[in-house]
A and B are shown apart, each in its own frame.
Chain A
Protein backbone atom coordinates (compact mmCIF):
# COMPACT_ATOMS: atom_id res chain seq x y z
CA UNK A 1 0.00 0.00 0.00
CA UNK A 2 1.31 3.44 -0.95
CA UNK A 3 0.81 6.49 1.22
CA UNK A 4 0.76 9.69 -0.82
CA UNK A 5 0.92 13.07 0.84
CA UNK A 6 0.11 15.73 -1.74
CA UNK A 7 0.81 19.44 -1.23
CA UNK A 8 -0.37 19.11 2.34
CA UNK A 9 -0.97 22.27 4.35
CA UNK A 10 -1.37 21.55 8.03
CA UNK A 11 -1.87 23.30 11.34
CA UNK A 12 -4.47 24.16 13.93
CA UNK A 13 -7.58 26.22 13.25
CA UNK A 14 -6.41 29.79 12.80
CA UNK A 15 -2.78 28.78 13.27
CA UNK A 16 -1.15 27.32 10.14
CA UNK A 17 2.03 25.37 10.87
CA UNK A 18 3.30 24.20 7.49
CA UNK A 19 2.44 23.75 3.82
CA UNK A 20 3.49 22.26 0.51
CA UNK A 21 4.59 18.97 2.01
CA UNK A 22 4.50 16.15 -0.53
CA UNK A 23 5.98 12.67 -0.42
CA UNK A 24 5.19 9.13 -1.39
CA UNK A 25 5.86 6.14 0.83
CA UNK A 26 5.80 2.68 -0.72
CA UNK A 27 5.59 -0.80 0.84
CA UNK A 28 8.69 -1.78 2.79
CA UNK A 29 10.08 1.73 2.70
CA UNK A 30 11.28 3.73 5.70
CA UNK A 31 11.15 7.50 5.59
CA UNK A 32 12.77 9.33 8.46
CA UNK A 33 11.53 12.82 9.24
CA UNK A 34 14.16 15.14 10.71
CA UNK A 35 13.52 18.62 11.93
CA UNK A 36 14.14 20.90 14.88
CA UNK A 37 11.70 21.39 17.74
CA UNK A 38 8.68 23.33 16.55
CA UNK A 39 9.28 22.53 12.87
CA UNK A 40 5.87 20.87 12.65
CA UNK A 41 6.71 17.14 12.70
CA UNK A 42 3.99 16.20 15.16
CA UNK A 43 1.40 18.45 13.48
CA UNK A 44 2.25 16.89 10.11
CA UNK A 45 1.81 13.40 11.57
CA UNK A 46 -1.50 14.33 13.20
CA UNK A 47 -2.75 15.57 9.84
CA UNK A 48 -1.60 12.44 8.01
CA UNK A 49 -3.39 10.37 10.67
CA UNK A 50 -6.58 12.34 10.17
CA UNK A 51 -6.55 13.76 13.72
CA UNK A 52 -6.34 17.25 12.21
CA UNK A 53 -8.17 18.28 9.07
CA UNK A 54 -5.78 19.18 6.23
CA UNK A 55 -5.75 22.92 5.57
CA UNK A 56 -4.90 22.17 1.97
CA UNK A 57 -3.82 19.24 -0.18
CA UNK A 58 -4.70 15.66 0.62
CA UNK A 59 -3.59 12.35 2.03
CA UNK A 60 -4.17 9.29 -0.14
CA UNK A 61 -3.83 5.58 0.48
CA UNK A 62 -3.39 3.69 -2.81
CA UNK A 63 -4.76 6.74 -4.59
CA UNK A 64 -7.89 7.11 -2.48
CA UNK A 65 -8.40 10.32 -0.50
CA UNK A 66 -8.75 9.24 3.14
CA UNK A 67 -10.48 12.44 4.29
CA UNK A 68 -13.92 10.80 4.15
CA UNK A 69 -12.86 7.38 5.41
CA UNK A 70 -14.47 6.23 8.64
CA UNK A 71 -11.98 5.91 11.51
CA UNK A 72 -12.27 2.14 11.57
CA UNK A 73 -11.31 1.76 7.94
CA UNK A 74 -8.38 4.13 8.34
CA UNK A 75 -7.17 2.26 11.43
CA UNK A 76 -7.10 -1.02 9.53
CA UNK A 77 -4.54 0.44 7.11
CA UNK A 78 -2.74 3.16 8.99
CA UNK A 79 -1.42 2.70 12.51
CA UNK A 80 0.12 5.18 14.88
CA UNK A 81 2.83 4.56 17.45
CA UNK A 82 2.86 7.39 19.98
CA UNK A 83 5.84 8.17 22.14
CA UNK A 84 6.13 5.80 25.08
CA UNK A 85 3.95 7.31 27.76
CA UNK A 86 2.77 6.41 31.19
CA UNK A 87 -0.72 5.00 31.37
CA UNK A 88 -3.31 6.02 33.90
CA UNK A 89 -4.42 2.52 34.74
CA UNK A 90 -2.26 -0.61 35.07
CA UNK A 91 -3.58 -2.57 32.10
CA UNK A 92 -1.70 -5.76 31.38
CA UNK A 93 0.60 -5.55 28.38
CA UNK A 94 -1.53 -8.18 26.63
CA UNK A 95 -4.64 -6.05 27.15
CA UNK A 96 -2.88 -2.95 25.82
CA UNK A 97 -1.85 -4.82 22.67
CA UNK A 98 -5.37 -6.25 22.31
CA UNK A 99 -6.70 -2.70 22.07
CA UNK A 100 -5.03 -2.61 18.66
CA UNK A 101 -7.77 -4.99 17.49
CA UNK A 102 -10.56 -2.45 18.03
CA UNK A 103 -10.86 -1.57 14.34
CA UNK A 104 -11.29 -5.24 13.47
CA UNK A 105 -14.01 -5.93 16.04
CA UNK A 106 -17.73 -5.25 15.94
CA UNK A 107 -18.96 -2.37 18.07
CA UNK A 108 -20.32 -4.57 20.86
CA UNK A 109 -17.84 -7.41 20.45
CA UNK A 110 -15.13 -8.44 22.86
CA UNK A 111 -11.84 -9.87 21.58
CA UNK A 112 -12.05 -13.42 20.26
CA UNK A 113 -9.43 -16.16 20.37
CA UNK A 114 -8.29 -14.97 16.94
CA UNK A 115 -7.73 -11.46 18.26
CA UNK A 116 -5.82 -12.82 21.24
CA UNK A 117 -3.66 -14.83 18.88
CA UNK A 118 -2.96 -11.74 16.77
CA UNK A 119 -1.96 -9.80 19.87
CA UNK A 120 0.29 -12.64 21.04
CA UNK A 121 1.89 -12.83 17.58
CA UNK A 122 2.55 -9.08 17.62
CA UNK A 123 4.22 -9.38 21.01
CA UNK A 124 6.26 -12.37 19.89
CA UNK A 125 7.42 -10.65 16.69
CA UNK A 126 8.95 -7.90 18.80
CA UNK A 127 10.54 -10.38 21.19
CA UNK A 128 8.54 -9.31 24.23
CA UNK A 129 6.12 -12.23 24.58
CA UNK A 130 7.25 -12.70 28.19
CA UNK A 131 5.92 -9.24 29.09
CA UNK A 132 2.32 -10.18 28.30
CA UNK A 133 1.26 -10.58 31.93
CA UNK A 134 3.06 -7.54 33.30
CA UNK A 135 1.15 -4.34 34.03
CA UNK A 136 2.03 -1.70 31.43
CA UNK A 137 2.78 0.74 34.25
CA UNK A 138 5.49 -1.47 35.72
CA UNK A 139 7.70 -2.05 32.67
CA UNK A 140 10.59 0.10 31.43
CA UNK A 141 10.33 2.91 28.89
CA UNK A 142 11.88 0.78 26.16
CA UNK A 143 9.47 -2.06 26.88
CA UNK A 144 6.56 0.40 26.75
CA UNK A 145 7.66 1.65 23.36
CA UNK A 146 7.86 -1.92 22.09
CA UNK A 147 4.42 -2.61 23.57
CA UNK A 148 2.97 0.36 21.68
CA UNK A 149 4.60 -0.90 18.48
CA UNK A 150 3.06 -4.30 19.16
CA UNK A 151 -0.33 -2.65 19.62
CA UNK A 152 0.06 -0.95 16.24
CA UNK A 153 1.07 -4.27 14.66
CA UNK A 154 -2.04 -5.91 16.11
CA UNK A 155 -3.98 -3.52 13.87
CA UNK A 156 -2.36 -5.38 10.94
CA UNK A 157 -1.64 -2.06 9.22
CA UNK A 158 0.11 -1.46 5.91
CA UNK A 159 1.53 1.91 6.98
CA UNK A 160 3.04 2.75 10.34
CA UNK A 161 3.46 6.32 11.61
CA UNK A 162 5.88 6.60 14.54
CA UNK A 163 6.37 9.79 16.50
CA UNK A 164 9.92 9.85 17.87
CA UNK A 165 9.98 6.16 18.75
CA UNK A 166 13.50 6.44 20.14
CA UNK A 167 12.99 9.53 22.28
CA UNK A 168 13.58 9.06 25.99
CA UNK A 169 14.95 5.56 25.51
CA UNK A 170 18.36 4.45 26.71
CA UNK A 171 21.07 3.62 24.17
CA UNK A 172 20.40 -0.11 24.03
CA UNK A 173 16.64 0.33 23.66
CA UNK A 174 17.13 2.91 20.89
CA UNK A 175 19.14 0.39 18.91
CA UNK A 176 16.64 -2.39 19.60
CA UNK A 177 13.72 -0.23 18.42
CA UNK A 178 15.61 0.73 15.24
CA UNK A 179 16.34 -2.95 14.56
CA UNK A 180 12.64 -3.77 14.87
CA UNK A 181 11.74 -0.93 12.52
CA UNK A 182 14.02 -2.27 9.77
CA UNK A 183 12.60 -5.76 10.32
CA UNK A 184 9.04 -4.43 9.99
CA UNK A 185 9.94 -2.69 6.75
CA UNK A 186 11.44 -5.90 5.43
CA UNK A 187 8.07 -7.57 6.08
CA UNK A 188 6.46 -5.07 3.69
CA UNK A 189 5.12 -2.43 6.05
CA UNK A 190 5.72 1.17 5.07
CA UNK A 191 7.13 3.22 7.94
CA UNK A 192 7.39 6.95 8.46
CA UNK A 193 9.04 8.00 11.69
CA UNK A 194 10.34 11.20 13.20
CA UNK A 195 13.55 11.42 15.16
CA UNK A 196 15.90 13.97 16.61
CA UNK A 197 19.01 11.95 15.85
CA UNK A 198 20.42 12.09 12.28
CA UNK A 199 22.42 8.94 13.07
CA UNK A 200 19.14 7.05 13.43
CA UNK A 201 18.23 8.14 9.93
CA UNK A 202 21.53 6.74 8.66
CA UNK A 203 20.78 3.48 10.49
CA UNK A 204 17.26 2.73 9.35
CA UNK A 205 15.98 5.13 6.67
CA UNK A 206 15.67 4.57 2.94
CA UNK A 207 14.91 8.24 2.49
CA UNK A 208 15.14 11.27 4.73
CA UNK A 209 12.76 14.20 4.80
CA UNK A 210 14.11 17.41 6.31
CA UNK A 211 11.36 19.56 7.75
CA UNK A 212 12.06 23.11 8.78
CA UNK A 213 9.52 25.80 9.59
CA UNK A 214 6.73 23.62 8.24
CA UNK A 215 8.31 23.16 4.82
CA UNK A 216 10.05 20.17 3.35
CA UNK A 217 13.63 21.34 2.77
CA UNK A 218 14.89 18.15 1.26
CA UNK A 219 13.71 14.64 0.50
CA UNK A 220 16.17 12.05 -0.62
CA UNK A 221 18.62 9.29 0.25
CA UNK A 222 20.16 9.75 3.71
CA UNK A 223 23.66 10.49 2.43
CA UNK A 224 22.28 13.20 0.12
CA UNK A 225 19.90 14.72 2.63
CA UNK A 226 22.05 14.71 5.72
CA UNK A 227 24.97 16.96 4.95
CA UNK A 228 26.87 19.35 7.22
CA UNK A 229 25.32 22.25 5.30
CA UNK A 230 21.77 20.95 5.69
CA UNK A 231 22.19 20.29 9.39
CA UNK A 232 23.78 23.70 9.87
CA UNK A 233 20.82 25.25 8.10
CA UNK A 234 18.03 23.56 10.04
CA UNK A 235 19.66 23.06 13.45
CA UNK A 236 22.15 25.96 13.39
CA UNK A 237 25.07 23.85 14.64
CA UNK A 238 28.31 22.67 13.05
CA UNK A 239 28.46 18.94 12.35
CA UNK A 240 31.07 16.72 10.74
CA UNK A 241 29.85 13.70 8.84
CA UNK A 242 32.33 10.86 8.79
CA UNK A 243 32.31 7.60 6.87
CA UNK A 244 33.48 4.71 9.00
CA UNK A 245 36.68 3.21 7.54
CA UNK A 246 36.09 0.13 5.40
CA UNK A 247 32.30 0.61 5.29
CA UNK A 248 29.79 2.99 3.78
CA UNK A 249 28.31 3.67 7.24
CA UNK A 250 28.09 7.34 8.09
CA UNK A 251 27.95 9.05 11.45
CA UNK A 252 27.31 12.60 12.56
CA UNK A 253 29.79 14.18 14.95
CA UNK A 254 28.85 17.58 16.29
CA UNK A 255 31.87 19.86 16.54
CA UNK A 256 31.28 21.51 19.88
CA UNK A 257 32.20 25.13 19.79
CA UNK A 258 34.08 25.75 23.03
CA UNK A 259 33.94 29.31 24.26
CA UNK A 260 37.32 31.00 24.60
CA UNK A 261 38.29 31.66 28.21
CA UNK A 262 37.31 35.33 28.04
CA UNK A 263 33.84 34.35 26.78
CA UNK A 264 33.02 32.02 29.65
CA UNK A 265 30.55 33.40 32.18
CA UNK A 266 32.31 34.59 35.29
CA UNK A 267 31.49 32.53 38.33
Chain B
Protein backbone atom coordinates (compact mmCIF):
# COMPACT_ATOMS: atom_id res chain seq x y z
CA UNK B 1 0.00 0.00 0.00
CA UNK B 2 2.94 2.34 0.43
CA UNK B 3 3.15 2.66 -3.34
CA UNK B 4 -0.45 3.69 -3.59
CA UNK B 5 -0.08 6.12 -0.71
CA UNK B 6 2.82 7.76 -2.50
CA UNK B 7 0.77 8.06 -5.69
CA UNK B 8 -2.05 9.64 -3.72
CA UNK B 9 0.24 12.15 -2.06
CA UNK B 10 1.88 13.15 -5.31
CA UNK B 11 -1.46 13.29 -7.06
CA UNK B 12 -2.69 15.70 -4.39
CA UNK B 13 0.41 17.92 -4.27
CA UNK B 14 1.89 17.26 -7.71
CA UNK B 15 -0.40 19.47 -9.81
CA UNK B 16 0.92 22.62 -8.15
CA UNK B 17 4.15 21.46 -6.55
CA UNK B 18 5.87 20.26 -9.73
CA UNK B 19 5.07 23.37 -11.82
CA UNK B 20 6.15 25.64 -8.94
CA UNK B 21 9.46 23.79 -8.69
CA UNK B 22 9.82 24.07 -12.46
CA UNK B 23 9.20 27.85 -12.26
CA UNK B 24 11.85 28.23 -9.58
CA UNK B 25 14.25 26.19 -11.71
CA UNK B 26 13.65 28.55 -14.63
CA UNK B 27 14.40 31.59 -12.47
CA UNK B 28 17.57 29.90 -11.25
CA UNK B 29 18.62 29.00 -14.78
CA UNK B 30 18.08 32.60 -15.92
CA UNK B 31 20.42 33.76 -13.17
CA UNK B 32 23.38 31.46 -13.69
CA UNK B 33 25.97 31.69 -16.42
CA UNK B 34 29.24 33.41 -17.23
CA UNK B 35 27.59 36.84 -17.13
CA UNK B 36 26.27 37.65 -13.62
CA UNK B 37 22.58 38.47 -13.40
CA UNK B 38 20.87 39.06 -10.05
CA UNK B 39 17.40 37.75 -9.22
CA UNK B 40 16.30 41.37 -8.67
CA UNK B 41 17.23 42.22 -12.25
CA UNK B 42 15.23 39.29 -13.54
CA UNK B 43 12.15 40.29 -11.55
CA UNK B 44 12.63 43.93 -12.58
CA UNK B 45 12.86 43.00 -16.24
CA UNK B 46 9.89 40.64 -16.10
CA UNK B 47 7.75 43.26 -14.35
CA UNK B 48 8.76 45.94 -16.82
CA UNK B 49 7.94 43.70 -19.76
CA UNK B 50 4.59 42.73 -18.33
CA UNK B 51 3.66 46.37 -17.63
CA UNK B 52 5.06 47.55 -20.95
CA UNK B 53 7.43 50.09 -19.43
CA UNK B 54 11.17 50.38 -20.13
CA UNK B 55 13.24 48.25 -17.71
CA UNK B 56 15.80 49.90 -15.48
CA UNK B 57 18.50 47.31 -16.02
CA UNK B 58 21.68 47.62 -18.09
CA UNK B 59 21.07 46.86 -21.75
CA UNK B 60 23.57 44.00 -21.72
CA UNK B 61 21.65 42.32 -18.90
CA UNK B 62 18.47 42.63 -20.93
CA UNK B 63 20.19 41.08 -23.94
CA UNK B 64 21.65 38.21 -21.93
CA UNK B 65 18.30 37.40 -20.34
CA UNK B 66 15.99 37.85 -23.31
CA UNK B 67 18.17 36.96 -26.27
CA UNK B 68 20.55 34.37 -24.87
CA UNK B 69 19.16 32.58 -21.84
CA UNK B 70 15.39 32.77 -22.28
CA UNK B 71 15.25 31.07 -25.70
CA UNK B 72 17.60 28.40 -24.50
CA UNK B 73 15.55 27.78 -21.36
CA UNK B 74 12.35 27.69 -23.40
CA UNK B 75 14.04 25.27 -25.77
CA UNK B 76 15.12 23.00 -22.92
CA UNK B 77 11.58 22.98 -21.53
CA UNK B 78 9.97 22.21 -24.89
CA UNK B 79 12.51 19.54 -25.85
CA UNK B 80 12.46 17.86 -22.44
CA UNK B 81 8.68 17.86 -22.16
CA UNK B 82 8.19 16.56 -25.69
CA UNK B 83 10.72 13.73 -25.32
CA UNK B 84 9.20 12.67 -22.00
CA UNK B 85 5.65 12.77 -23.37
CA UNK B 86 6.63 10.71 -26.40
CA UNK B 87 8.49 8.27 -24.16
CA UNK B 88 5.48 7.87 -21.88
CA UNK B 89 3.25 7.19 -24.89
CA UNK B 90 5.64 4.67 -26.44
CA UNK B 91 6.17 2.85 -23.14
CA UNK B 92 2.42 2.37 -22.84
CA UNK B 93 1.95 1.41 -26.49
CA UNK B 94 4.72 -1.15 -26.42
CA UNK B 95 3.84 -2.30 -22.92
CA UNK B 96 7.44 -1.99 -21.93
CA UNK B 97 8.99 0.44 -19.45
CA UNK B 98 12.39 0.20 -21.15
CA UNK B 99 11.22 1.77 -24.39
CA UNK B 100 12.41 5.23 -25.42
CA UNK B 101 11.05 7.55 -28.12
CA UNK B 102 13.77 6.21 -30.43
CA UNK B 103 12.18 2.75 -30.57
CA UNK B 104 10.73 3.17 -34.06
CA UNK B 105 13.80 4.84 -35.47
CA UNK B 106 12.75 8.48 -35.32
CA UNK B 107 16.09 9.60 -33.84
CA UNK B 108 18.14 7.45 -36.18
CA UNK B 109 16.19 8.80 -39.14
CA UNK B 110 16.48 12.38 -37.96
CA UNK B 111 20.18 11.82 -37.36
CA UNK B 112 20.57 10.61 -40.92
CA UNK B 113 18.70 13.64 -42.24
CA UNK B 114 20.82 16.06 -40.24
CA UNK B 115 24.09 14.35 -41.13
CA UNK B 116 23.10 14.42 -44.78
CA UNK B 117 22.28 18.12 -44.43
CA UNK B 118 25.66 18.84 -42.86
CA UNK B 119 27.38 16.71 -45.49
CA UNK B 120 25.69 18.70 -48.25
CA UNK B 121 26.67 21.96 -46.48
CA UNK B 122 23.04 23.06 -46.23
CA UNK B 123 22.13 26.10 -44.12
CA UNK B 124 20.94 25.44 -40.55
CA UNK B 125 17.28 25.55 -41.48
CA UNK B 126 17.87 23.05 -44.28
CA UNK B 127 19.61 20.69 -41.86
CA UNK B 128 16.72 20.95 -39.40
CA UNK B 129 14.13 20.40 -42.10
CA UNK B 130 15.95 17.32 -43.41
CA UNK B 131 16.26 15.97 -39.86
CA UNK B 132 12.54 16.44 -39.25
CA UNK B 133 11.49 14.91 -42.56
CA UNK B 134 13.85 11.94 -42.31
CA UNK B 135 12.68 11.24 -38.75
CA UNK B 136 9.02 11.23 -39.76
CA UNK B 137 9.64 9.28 -42.97
CA UNK B 138 11.67 6.61 -41.14
CA UNK B 139 8.82 5.92 -38.72
CA UNK B 140 6.39 5.95 -41.64
CA UNK B 141 8.49 3.30 -43.40
CA UNK B 142 8.69 1.24 -40.21
CA UNK B 143 4.92 1.38 -39.91
CA UNK B 144 4.40 0.40 -43.56
CA UNK B 145 6.80 -2.53 -43.25
CA UNK B 146 5.04 -3.68 -40.10
CA UNK B 147 1.58 -3.53 -41.67
CA UNK B 148 2.86 -5.38 -44.75
CA UNK B 149 3.95 -8.27 -42.51
CA UNK B 150 0.60 -9.76 -41.56
CA UNK B 151 -0.42 -12.47 -39.18
CA UNK B 152 2.23 -11.78 -36.57
CA UNK B 153 2.12 -9.98 -33.26
CA UNK B 154 1.89 -6.42 -34.69
CA UNK B 155 3.75 -4.71 -31.86
CA UNK B 156 6.68 -7.10 -32.10
CA UNK B 157 6.95 -6.61 -35.88
CA UNK B 158 6.89 -2.83 -35.36
CA UNK B 159 9.75 -2.95 -32.88
CA UNK B 160 11.81 -5.27 -35.07
CA UNK B 161 11.22 -3.12 -38.15
CA UNK B 162 12.24 -0.08 -36.08
CA UNK B 163 15.47 -1.76 -34.99
CA UNK B 164 16.31 -2.82 -38.55
CA UNK B 165 15.62 0.53 -40.20
CA UNK B 166 17.39 2.29 -37.31
CA UNK B 167 20.46 0.15 -37.91
CA UNK B 168 20.27 0.91 -41.61
CA UNK B 169 20.16 4.65 -40.91
CA UNK B 170 23.07 4.20 -38.49
CA UNK B 171 25.12 2.49 -41.21
CA UNK B 172 24.48 5.32 -43.68
CA UNK B 173 25.39 7.87 -40.97
CA UNK B 174 28.70 6.04 -40.46
CA UNK B 175 29.33 6.05 -44.19
CA UNK B 176 28.68 9.80 -44.41
CA UNK B 177 31.01 10.35 -41.43
CA UNK B 178 33.79 8.54 -43.30
CA UNK B 179 33.15 10.60 -46.41
CA UNK B 180 32.73 13.94 -44.59
CA UNK B 181 35.37 16.66 -44.39
CA UNK B 182 37.22 15.75 -41.15
CA UNK B 183 38.02 19.36 -40.17
CA UNK B 184 34.75 21.08 -40.83
CA UNK B 185 31.86 18.66 -41.26
CA UNK B 186 32.87 15.78 -38.99
CA UNK B 187 32.95 17.85 -35.77
CA UNK B 188 29.59 19.32 -36.69
CA UNK B 189 28.16 15.85 -37.28
CA UNK B 190 29.56 14.53 -34.00
CA UNK B 191 28.20 17.48 -32.06
CA UNK B 192 24.78 17.15 -33.65
CA UNK B 193 24.57 13.47 -32.85
CA UNK B 194 25.37 14.20 -29.20
CA UNK B 195 22.70 16.86 -28.91
CA UNK B 196 23.04 20.50 -27.84
CA UNK B 197 20.92 23.56 -27.27
CA UNK B 198 23.92 25.91 -27.55
CA UNK B 199 23.04 27.36 -30.95
CA UNK B 200 19.29 27.39 -30.41
CA UNK B 201 17.57 30.55 -31.66
CA UNK B 202 14.15 31.88 -30.65
CA UNK B 203 12.99 31.04 -34.18
CA UNK B 204 13.95 27.39 -33.68
CA UNK B 205 11.83 27.18 -30.56
CA UNK B 206 8.93 28.96 -32.25
CA UNK B 207 9.14 26.53 -35.17
CA UNK B 208 9.22 23.38 -33.03
CA UNK B 209 6.70 24.39 -30.36
CA UNK B 210 3.58 24.34 -32.58
CA UNK B 211 4.50 20.88 -33.91
CA UNK B 212 4.94 19.67 -30.34
CA UNK B 213 1.53 21.08 -29.43
CA UNK B 214 -0.09 19.41 -32.45
CA UNK B 215 1.41 16.09 -31.36
CA UNK B 216 0.39 16.67 -27.77
CA UNK B 217 -3.25 17.29 -28.62
CA UNK B 218 -4.21 13.67 -29.46
CA UNK B 219 -2.13 12.40 -26.54
CA UNK B 220 -4.10 14.67 -24.24
CA UNK B 221 -7.51 14.00 -25.77
CA UNK B 222 -7.02 10.24 -25.80
CA UNK B 223 -5.20 10.15 -22.46
CA UNK B 224 -7.66 7.76 -20.81
CA UNK B 225 -7.81 5.42 -23.83
CA UNK B 226 -4.03 5.16 -23.69
CA UNK B 227 -4.49 3.02 -20.58
CA UNK B 228 -6.34 0.41 -22.62
CA UNK B 229 -3.47 0.15 -25.09
CA UNK B 230 -1.32 -1.33 -22.31
CA UNK B 231 -3.62 -4.39 -22.26
CA UNK B 232 -2.58 -5.59 -25.69
CA UNK B 233 -4.60 -5.64 -28.89
CA UNK B 234 -6.96 -8.52 -28.19
CA UNK B 235 -8.14 -7.33 -24.81
CA UNK B 236 -8.44 -3.76 -26.05
CA UNK B 237 -10.57 -4.98 -28.97
CA UNK B 238 -12.91 -6.97 -26.72
CA UNK B 239 -13.32 -3.84 -24.61
CA UNK B 240 -14.50 -1.99 -27.71
CA UNK B 241 -11.32 -0.13 -28.64
CA UNK B 242 -9.99 -0.13 -32.20
CA UNK B 243 -6.44 -0.86 -31.08
CA UNK B 244 -4.70 -0.72 -34.46
CA UNK B 245 -6.15 2.67 -35.40
CA UNK B 246 -5.49 4.13 -31.96
CA UNK B 247 -1.91 2.91 -32.08
CA UNK B 248 -1.40 4.63 -35.43
CA UNK B 249 -2.66 7.92 -33.93
CA UNK B 250 -0.38 7.61 -30.90
CA UNK B 251 2.65 6.69 -33.01
CA UNK B 252 2.01 9.60 -35.38
CA UNK B 253 1.61 12.04 -32.47
CA UNK B 254 4.68 10.85 -30.57
CA UNK B 255 6.77 10.79 -33.75
CA UNK B 256 5.75 14.31 -34.70
CA UNK B 257 6.75 15.61 -31.26
CA UNK B 258 10.05 13.74 -31.20
CA UNK B 259 11.05 14.64 -34.74
CA UNK B 260 10.19 18.30 -34.14
CA UNK B 261 12.43 18.62 -31.08
CA UNK B 262 15.24 16.35 -32.25
CA UNK B 263 15.57 18.44 -35.40
CA UNK B 264 16.42 21.54 -33.33
CA UNK B 265 18.35 19.92 -30.48
CA UNK B 266 20.10 16.91 -31.99
CA UNK B 267 19.84 13.49 -30.44
CA UNK B 268 19.32 13.63 -26.68
CA UNK B 269 18.96 10.22 -25.13
CA UNK B 270 17.69 9.09 -21.72
CA UNK B 271 15.14 11.85 -21.10
CA UNK B 272 12.36 9.97 -22.88
CA UNK B 273 13.33 6.74 -21.16
CA UNK B 274 13.84 7.80 -17.55
CA UNK B 275 11.40 10.66 -16.98
CA UNK B 276 8.21 8.67 -17.76
CA UNK B 277 9.67 6.05 -15.49
CA UNK B 278 10.13 8.38 -12.54
CA UNK B 279 6.72 9.91 -13.23
CA UNK B 280 5.17 6.43 -13.07
CA UNK B 281 6.76 5.87 -9.69
CA UNK B 282 5.42 9.19 -8.46
CA UNK B 283 1.85 9.18 -9.77
CA UNK B 284 1.23 5.60 -10.95
CA UNK B 285 0.68 4.24 -14.47
CA UNK B 286 -2.65 5.95 -15.22
CA UNK B 287 -1.86 7.99 -18.33
CA UNK B 288 -4.23 10.79 -17.31
CA UNK B 289 -1.79 11.67 -14.52
CA UNK B 290 1.33 10.15 -16.04
CA UNK B 291 1.41 12.46 -19.08
CA UNK B 292 1.54 15.84 -17.26
CA UNK B 293 3.91 14.47 -14.59
CA UNK B 294 6.30 13.03 -17.19
CA UNK B 295 6.26 16.29 -19.18
CA UNK B 296 6.98 18.45 -16.14
CA UNK B 297 9.80 16.17 -15.03
CA UNK B 298 11.24 15.96 -18.55
CA UNK B 299 11.21 19.74 -18.89
CA UNK B 300 12.84 20.20 -15.48
CA UNK B 301 15.46 17.52 -16.03
CA UNK B 302 16.57 18.85 -19.39
CA UNK B 303 16.66 22.39 -18.01
CA UNK B 304 18.97 21.28 -15.18
CA UNK B 305 21.18 19.29 -17.53
CA UNK B 306 21.37 22.08 -20.09
CA UNK B 307 22.21 24.63 -17.41
CA UNK B 308 25.03 22.35 -16.27
CA UNK B 309 26.11 21.91 -19.90
CA UNK B 310 26.60 25.64 -20.38
CA UNK B 311 28.07 26.49 -16.97
CA UNK B 312 30.17 23.59 -15.69
CA UNK B 313 33.10 24.00 -18.09
CA UNK B 314 34.63 26.68 -20.24
CA UNK B 315 33.33 24.95 -23.34
CA UNK B 316 29.87 23.51 -23.91
CA UNK B 317 29.43 19.91 -22.85
CA UNK B 318 27.20 17.99 -25.31
CA UNK B 319 23.82 17.26 -23.76
CA UNK B 320 23.68 13.62 -24.81
CA UNK B 321 26.80 12.94 -22.76
CA UNK B 322 25.40 14.62 -19.65
CA UNK B 323 21.93 13.07 -19.84
CA UNK B 324 23.57 9.64 -20.02
CA UNK B 325 26.18 10.36 -17.32
CA UNK B 326 23.50 11.61 -14.93
CA UNK B 327 20.69 9.37 -16.09
CA UNK B 328 22.37 5.99 -16.13
CA UNK B 329 23.60 5.94 -12.50
CA UNK B 330 20.29 7.40 -11.32
CA UNK B 331 18.44 4.69 -13.19
CA UNK B 332 20.63 2.01 -11.59
CA UNK B 333 19.99 3.52 -8.18
CA UNK B 334 16.25 3.38 -8.80
CA UNK B 335 16.49 -0.24 -9.90
CA UNK B 336 18.54 -1.14 -6.84
CA UNK B 337 15.96 0.46 -4.55
CA UNK B 338 13.37 -1.82 -6.05
CA UNK B 339 10.82 0.87 -6.82
CA UNK B 340 10.01 -0.14 -10.32
CA UNK B 341 6.57 1.05 -11.24
CA UNK B 342 6.24 -1.96 -13.51
CA UNK B 343 6.16 -5.72 -13.22
| Chain B binds chain A | yes
Binding site for B on A (CB under 8 A): 12-13, 46, 49-51, 71-76, 78-80, 82, 86-92, 95, 99-100, 102-103, 105, 107-111, 133-135, 137-138, 151, 155
Q: For the complex, what is the distance from the CA of A109 to the CA of B30, rounded to whole Å?
A: 39
A51-B239 contact in complex given A91-B227, A110-B288, C-beta closer than 8 Å = no
A90-B341 contact in complex given A108-B221, A108-B222, C-beta closer than 8 Å = yes
B4 touches A92 (CB 8 A): yes
Stretch at the interface among B114-122, B197-205, B279-287, B291-299: B279-287
B242 touches A135 (CB 8 A): no
Q: Does B177 make an interface contact (CB < 8 A)?
A: no
A92 touches B284 (CB 8 A): yes
Stretch at the interface among B130-138, B228-236, B302-310: B228-236
B240 touches A134 (CB 8 A): no
Secondary structure at chain B's binding surface: helix, strand, loop or mixed? Answer: loop
Q: A80 — nearest CB in chain B belongs to which residue?
A: B238
Could you jot down 18 A-B contacts, CB within 8 Å?
Answer: A51-B234, A78-B238, A82-B235, A89-B95, A89-B280, A89-B343, A90-B343, A92-B4, A92-B284, A99-B228, A102-B240, A103-B241, A109-B224, A133-B1, A135-B284, A138-B3, A151-B239, A155-B239
8 tightest CB-CB pairs across the interface, nearest first? A103-B240, A75-B240, A89-B285, A80-B238, A72-B240, A110-B224, A108-B221, A88-B95
Shortest A11–chain B CB gap in Å is 12
Interface size on B, residues (CB 8 A): 34
Shortest B93–chain A CB gap in Å is 11
B343 touches A99 (CB 8 A): no
Q: A90 — nearest CB in chain B belongs to which residue?
A: B285
Binding site for A on B (CB under 8 A): 1, 3-4, 92, 95-97, 150-151, 221-225, 227-228, 230-231, 234-235, 237-242, 280, 284-286, 288, 341-343
Complex contacts, A92 vs chain B, CB 8 Å: 4, 284, 286
Complex contacts, B4 vs chain A, CB 8 Å: 92, 133-135
B343 touches A75 (CB 8 A): no
